[in-house]
Structures are given as C-alpha cells and as structure tokens.
Amino acid sequence: MTTSTSTLIIPVENQVRELDAKLLISCVAAERGFPIILGSRAFVHYKVASVPRGVYLAKSMRKLSNRMFRILRALGHEVVAWGEEGLVRFPGSEYYRRRLSPEALREVSHLIVWGEDNADALRGYPGYPGAPIHVIGNPRIDLLRPELRGFYAEDAERIRARYGEFVLINTNFGQVNHYFSQLSETQAMGEGRGPDASNAYYVGLGRMRLKLFEHFKEMLPALCRAFPRRNIVLRPHPVENHAPWQAVAAAHANLHVINEGSVVPWLLAAQALVANGCTTLIEAAIIGLPQVNYRPLVDPEFEVPLPRKMGYAARDVDSVIDLLGQILAGKLDGAQTPEQQALLARNIASLSGPLAAERMVQVLVDANYDRIQPLAPPIGGWISGWLRNQVRTAKKRINMRRPGHRNDIRYHDHRFPPVTAAELQQRIDRLGALMGRFPDVRVEQTSRHMFRIYDSAVRGEGQGSHL
C-alpha cells in the first residue's frame, strides 16, 4: 500500500436531485483531506482510468453496474455503494429483482444505507455477500434539516416572487412517460409488449402506472378550475417527457410545468404538495409541508410502501380539492402523526444528530482511506481493465450520437445540464457561510462535465487528483 490519500470519486446521474447533496459530501471530505473528482456519471466513467486509485461512491447496485464495477476494481479503485433507491423501493422481492445484483454486490467494500429498514432488507437479500453495512442516512436529507434549509432560502424567495402562493404537483412517471418514448419500459409492459411482457407482475405494474398517469392528467384541469387565483406548479421527474404535461398546461394559464434546480426550494416555497409514490412526499413530511397523497388506485402489491403512508390520503379528484382547500385555509397542517414519525425514524437514520455527510465521510476515515490508497492491482489486470473501459467508452460515445438511445447526448444534458466551476464554487461558499466551515474548499474544472474539489489549506494548491 502507498501512504497517499485515496481519491474520492463521486458520480452524479440526475443533477437536480443529487448534485447539492454530493457537493456537501465533497466539502466534508475535502476538509478531512480527501481529493475529490465529481461530475456527470457518464463522463466520470470515461475518464476513470486516469484518476489516481481511490474510492468510487456508487449510487446503486443494479445489474447495469456489474460491468463498470468490475472495471473499477481492475483499475485499482474500491467501490463504496450508497443505495440511492433503498428508501422508496418496490415491495419485497421486487426490490431485490429490480435494484440489486449479486455480481455488483460482490465488488462492493462497504454498503451505506438510509436506515434500519433498508439495512434489514439488504441483510435478507440472498445475494448479500457480507460487506459491512453502515446505517447512515442520506445527505439529501441533511439539506432538509432546519440547520441547513437556509442553503435554499434565496432560491425559495425567488420562486415565491415569481409564482406567489402556489400548489406543487410532483410526478414520477418516467417508466411510462420517458424523455424518449421508446425507453418507457413499463408502458410497454402494461401494453403487453417488451421482454417482460410474460411477467405477470411487471404487466400489472405497467397497467397500474399507465392508469395513474392518466388520473394525474385528468386531475390537473380540475385543480386549475377549483383554484383559479392560485398557481399550480408541476415538476416532472428528471427523466420524464414534459410534452404531455405542457399539453394540459396550454389550456390553463395558472398551470406551469417546471423542472428547474433541486426540488427542495420548491417545497420550501409551496403551500402544499400533491404527489403519489415518490420521495418528494417524504421530503415534504420532513420539512412540514402539508401533503395530499393522491391514490386513485390502491394496490399494495404495486405501490411503494413508505410514500403511501405519508400525507393526507385522497382517493378521487374531489377529495384532492377538498383537502387542498382546507390546507390553503389553514385548517390542516403538515405535522406528522406519531406513526408517521416512527416510520421516518426507522427508515432514515440522519433526521437528527450528526449529518449523514459527516457519518459517510467518517466511514471512509475509519476504513483508512484518508491515509492509504487501495492496493495496486497486478499490471495485467490493470491493462485488462483499461482496455475494457476504452472499449466501453468508445461504444458509449458512439451511442451519444444515436437519436433516442439511452446514451443520447440530449438525454444526458437533460439530466446533467452544463454547470461551471464558478457556479459550483458559489454553492460551496453558500454551504460554508451557513455552516461556518469550508473557507479553503476550492473547485476546478478538469474536463467536460468533471470537476476537482479539494481543501487548499489541507492539501495545498495543485496537490489533489487531476485528469
């Protein structure tokens, strides 16, 4: 082993959902002496063979990660997996089938999970290889805690100035309303098409999601008519196609389809949230925003367990309108019931006490990654990993030029719009001012969609990782 600090490699897939939380991790890690490479996941993968050996912070452990994890390990990097999808997950065995891969898990050195419920689910997975599980929480929740909400205060104020008193609608229909229609896999299942058309569960799930999508489209005009003096702001999921929603909005002046920045300032600025089956219901519960949980279709077999227990339940449009009317009149608030509080505590470890970002970095320090790099791989293995990554990168770059492909550069830029080092530095400085920390944390752009973050007081200028 060497005595150099491991580089922390932090990929970002959906910028509006992940970037701010991963900047927080980066700041805490830089303060502890880690050099960090942060950027678009696709472009990080292209360049990963040029990064000094370190720790890759993965957001998922799906079958799609198998090949990349093997390449990372061959290049001498270790993988610490952070199960982004472990909080809002499908019931029972479907979580295992859709979100976990025994091959990917075998390449993981440490597992970081949302809470005890997520930890129990992982321990019960037949393919769990025994890697240490750390019940940490998620830095996305850190930014919802009272001491850090001020990070979004200016953004929330600008939103209020623009939209006044408004109701937020959050949708999660990427599986049936994908940015590229041919990638709407669940829609194909619901229509009896595609490779999973013979799987009864997937067909049922697809049909339910398609019906729910239609229910939401039918609900919107009724809300616009019921609250003509209020703006209705609809935020589609980052992978959704906006066109169906914009078609509805074209007939209603008070309906706006927006997907700008993180959802948090929108939650802070809104008067109420309407959603179904998504993380936003949980985020709203944490900050105390009243939520209407619109469930026109009730089927625990296909519904995600935790979100369905949040907020005020509404089975039809009239109930949504009635509940929103009571919320806007101040008759209902966003306080959680004791049962909901207990559910959140079991599912999210970092609602109080040390921040999840602090706990995550401490896991890395306890594993000595701040003092040593992973073992250098055999030269033959490294060359094999390098060649495999070059071939993979060449194919991905070709696919970026293929219209409608999941690697299409337009889809990439939809999920990870261009961002500058100056913009990231402003966010870091805002975090620092709020927390009284990070005065020497700096960010530099190293290549397209990729950045180096380091603490100049700890490592000095130019001493961190580079590409």
What CATH number did the domain enclosing 79 receive?
A: 3.40.50
Whole-model pTM: value is: 0.91
Q: Note whether 284 and 385 are same-domain residues.
A: no
Query: In this structure, are residues 275 and 312 in contact, taking their beta carbons and an 8 Å threshold?
Result: no
Residue 464 confidence (pLDDT): 45
Alpha helices, DSSP H, located in 302-440: 317-328, 338-347, 356-366, 379-399, 409-415, 421-435
Confidence of residue 261 (pLDDT cuts 50, 70, 90): confident
Q: Note whether 297 and 363 are same-domain residues.
A: no
1, part of any domain: no
For residue 135, the surrounding DSSP H or E stretch is strand 133-135
Residue 193 confidence (pLDDT): 54
Residue 49 confidence (pLDDT): 96
Which amino acid, residue 272? Answer: A
Contacting residues for 415 by C-beta, under 8 A, at least 6 apart = 13, 14, 15, 238, 239
Residues 126, 131, 132, 138: what is their CA dihedral angle, to the nearest 10 degrees?
-80
336, part of any domain: yes
Residue 199 confidence (pLDDT): 76
CATH number at residue 242: 3.40.50.2000
Q: Note whether 178 and 327 are same-domain residues.
A: yes
Burial label for 386, CB within 10 Å (0-12, 13-18, 19+), is middle
Which amino acid, residue 452? Answer: R
Q: Note whether 197 and 259 are same-domain residues.
A: yes
Q: Note whether 67 and 179 are same-domain residues.
A: no
The answer to whether residue 166 scores a pLDDT higher than 50 is yes
Lowest mean pLDDT among 111-115, 149-153, 183-187, 366-370: 183-187
Q: Note whether 185 and 313 are same-domain residues.
A: yes
CA 354, 358, 360, 362 dihedral sign is negative
Q: Note whether 266 and 386 are same-domain residues.
A: no
Query: In this structure, are residues 9 and 57 in contact, taking their beta carbons and an 8 Å threshold?
Result: yes
Q: Note whether 174 and 286 are same-domain residues.
A: yes
As given in the structure block, the two tokens for residue 398 are: 């070709």
Which tens digits make up the pLDDT trace of 421-456?
999 999 999 999 999 999 999 999 999 999 999 999
The answer to whether residue 467 scores a pLDDT higher than 70 is no
Which tens digits make up the pLDDT trace of 107-147?
999 999 999 999 999 999 999 999 999 999 999 999 999 99
Mean pLDDT over residues 253-274, rounded? 95
Residue 170 confidence (pLDDT): 96
C-alpha span between 139 and 363 (Å, rounded): 14
Q: What is the CA radius of gyration of the chain?
A: 22
Confidence of residue 90 (pLDDT cuts 50, 70, 90): confident
343, part of any domain: yes
The answer to whether residue 310 scores a pLDDT higher than 80 is yes
Nearest to 362 by CA among 121, 176, 136, 76: 136
Task: List C-alpha distances in Å: 35 to 290, 440, 464.
Answer: 41, 13, 5
When the pLDDT of each residue in the chain is averaged and rounded to a whole number, the result is 92
Nearest to 114 by CA among 297, 266, 230, 286: 286
147, part of any domain: no
The count of structural domains within the chain is 2
The answer to whether residue 275 scores a pLDDT higher than 50 is yes
Backbone angles phi, psi at 257, to 5 degrees: -100, 115
Residue 238 confidence (pLDDT): 83
Tell me the residue range of the domain where 252 lies: 152-347
The answer to whether residue 463 scores a pLDDT higher than 50 is no
C-alpha span between 186 and 198 (Å, rounded): 13
Straight-line distance from the first to the last Cα atom of the chain, in angstroms, rounded to the nearest whole number: 22
DSSP 8-state secondary structure symbol assigned to residue 111: E
Q: Which of 282, 317, 347 is the last residue of a domain?
A: 347
The answer to whether residue 266 scores a pLDDT higher than 90 is yes
As given in the structure block, the two tokens for residue 85 are: 């999808």
Q: Note whether 105 and 238 are same-domain residues.
A: no
C-alpha span between 418 and 409 (Å, rounded): 12
Strand ranges for 249-290 from DSSP E: 255-257, 272-275
Contacting residues for 53 by C-beta, under 8 A, at least 6 apart = 6, 7, 75, 76, 77, 373, 374, 376
Confidence of residue 312 (pLDDT cuts 50, 70, 90): very high
Q: Note whether 178 and 285 are same-domain residues.
A: yes
Mean pLDDT over residues 12-22, rounded? 94
Q: Note whether 371 and 322 are same-domain residues.
A: no
29, part of any domain: yes
Tell me the three state secondary structure of residue 113.
strand
Residue 176 confidence (pLDDT): 86
Instruction: Beginning with the edge strand found earlier in the chain, give each strand of the sheet holding 36-40 in spatial order.
Output: 133-135, 108-113, 78-82, 54-58, 7-12, 36-40, 450-455, 441-447
C-alpha span between 48 and 393 (Å, rounded): 10
Q: Which of 293, 312, 347 is the last residue of a domain?
A: 347
Q: Note whether 111 and 244 are same-domain residues.
A: no
The answer to whether residue 183 scores a pLDDT higher than 80 is no
Mean pLDDT over residues 377-392, rounded? 97
Residues 175, 297, 270, 225: what is their CA dihedral angle, to the nearest 10 degrees?
110
Q: Which of 289, 323, 347 is the last residue of a domain?
A: 347
Lowest mean pLDDT among 3-7, 191-195, 358-362: 191-195
The answer to whether residue 1 scores a pLDDT higher than 50 is no
467, part of any domain: no
Pairing of strands 450-455, 231-235: unpaired
145, part of any domain: no
**What percentage of the chain carries pLDDT values higher than 90?**
79
278, part of any domain: yes
For residue 36, the surrounding DSSP H or E stretch is strand 36-40
Which tens digits make up the pLDDT trace of 33-72?
999 999 999 999 999 999 999 999 999 999 999 999 999 9
